[in-house]
Amino acid sequence: MTGNSKLYVGNMSFKTTEEELRAAFEQFGAVTDVYVAMDRMTGRPRGFAFVTMGTPEEAKLAAEKLNGVDLGGRALTVNEARPKEEGGGRSFGGGGGGGRGGFRGGDRRGGGGGGYRGDRESRESY
């Protein structure tokens, strides 16, 4: 790990709560923040979260100990969260690069990584 205390937690059960995550990670140190990603349209969990530990050392220990551990019937994927890309954040479209923008007519004003913003702009133009 590179000194980052924020962890990505993937492959979560949609029923796993913020409190359950906090309890699992607190075994390895102070938990300063838990963010369970929710779908903006449905309000349901998206199956991943971010947990911020008190120190990079605690984050490293938690990642080592909890990666692959069963929580809510699913084997968690836990690793260091990657920082957001400059100028647009993460691509939520899946498949990297252009995200969802690719099948809607190619590059939108020089691209920017797809994601929700692109979807919203596309819908408004109909």
Same domain for 10 and 69, yes or no, is: yes
**Residue 31 and residue 11 share a domain:** yes
Rg of the chain on CA atoms, in Å: 17
Residues 66 and 38 in one domain: yes
Is residue 63 in a domain?
A: yes
Q: Is residue 120 part of a domain?
A: yes
Domain count, the chain: 2
Regarding whether 102 and 56 lie in a shared domain, the answer is: no
pLDDT the model gives residue 1 = 59
Distance between terminal CA atoms of the chain?
A: 45
Does some domain include residue 27?
yes
Determine the Cα–Cα distance for residues 2 and 110; give it in Å rounded to an integer. Answer: 31
| Same domain? 59 vs 28 | yes
The pTM of this model reads 0.66
- Residue ranges in the chain whose pLDDT is less than 70: 1, 86-126
Q: What is the pLDDT of residue 3?
A: 78
Which CATH number does the domain housing residue 33 bear? 3.30.70.330
Helices within the chain (DSSP H only): 18-26, 56-66, 116-124
Q: Which residues span the domain enclosing 19? A: 6-80
pLDDT value of position 97: 46
Per-residue model confidence as pLDDT tens digits over 8-20: 999 999 999 999 9
Q: How far is CA 126 from CA 89, 113, 120, 122, in A?
A: 26, 21, 11, 7
- Give the pLDDT score at 84: 79
The single-letter code of the amino acid at 93 is: G
pLDDT for position 9: 99
Would you say residue 87 lies in a domain?
no
